[in-house]
Amino acid sequence: MTGLGCCLALAGGTSAGAAPNERIVGGDVAKPADWPFIAAIASRGGDQYCGGSVISEDAVVTAAHCVEGSRPKDVRVITGRPDLNDEGEGQLLKVSEITVRRKYGREGGHDVAVLRLESPTTASPVLLPTVEEDEDETEAGDELRVAGWGGTTANGGNPSDVLLDVALFAISDDECKDEYFPRLRGPGEICAFGEEQSFNHWNDSCYGDSGGPLVADNVRGALLVGIVSYGGTKCGQDKPGVYSQVADDLRFIKRKADLP
């Protein structure tokens, strides 16, 4: 995707808790019908800086590093607006509560937060996977999809105002650990590479895409299996993207969103 890029939420090897610097690289303009649940996380002034996914009429899940330390009054959620310049479309919603996963920053993974909205969104919620579905859909070689408004170049520049998406492929835990040695990938994370476009350049998510959805196409529909978390220094040129595994924090997500 020409918008996500390689380096995700914590691209450049920054540590958990660092300021968000997110994106999609080598992608295509997304079809809105493919991403009815995607949300843009924005500042109070309206500038998008992360992504998210609607999981109920009044709850959105995103990356912890996107909102850690933020006050609800300083965050806005935009739904139903694949073109961020089209202010007549979709909704701009205030946030009433931010809950960051307590385990985030204490151990690898768990880069997850739930936002509660002051008023309901009309956007359709994404499906959450069961643990069994997650295992079946995220094996090495399985095709996944990611979308966002992040950077479209390797250094995270040129963010897109229009939603972009791209196909990725899950890689094995061992291969991912080798890529990130000695900073080993934490538990509860998914690693994925995009299709190679030229020598040592591949499709990827990037700065500004953090918090956005990584989905698997299941018989039930699109399943939210991951959340854009971090990556290498150069989007699509350095290391695979790493995504927080939704199934690993499913109980937390459902509890904070009041889902059964």
Enzyme catalytic residues: 65, 111, 210
**How far is Cα 37 from Cα 23, in angstroms, rounded to an integer?**
18
**How far is Cα 108 from Cα 56, in angstroms, rounded to an integer?**
27
User: Read out DSSP for 50-71?
Assistant: EEEEEEETTEEEE-HHHHTT--
* Residue burial 189-225, b: 16+ Cβ < 10 Å; e: rest: bbbbbbeeeeeebbbbbbbbbbbbbbbbebeeebbbb
CA distances in angstroms from 225 to 9, 137, 212, 213, 217, listed in the order given: 17, 8, 11, 8, 10
Contact 213, 8 (CB under 8 A): no
Spatial neighbors of 124 by CB under 8 A, at least 6 apart, are: 36, 37, 54
Tell which residue, 105, 113, 111, has the closest CA to residue 75: 113
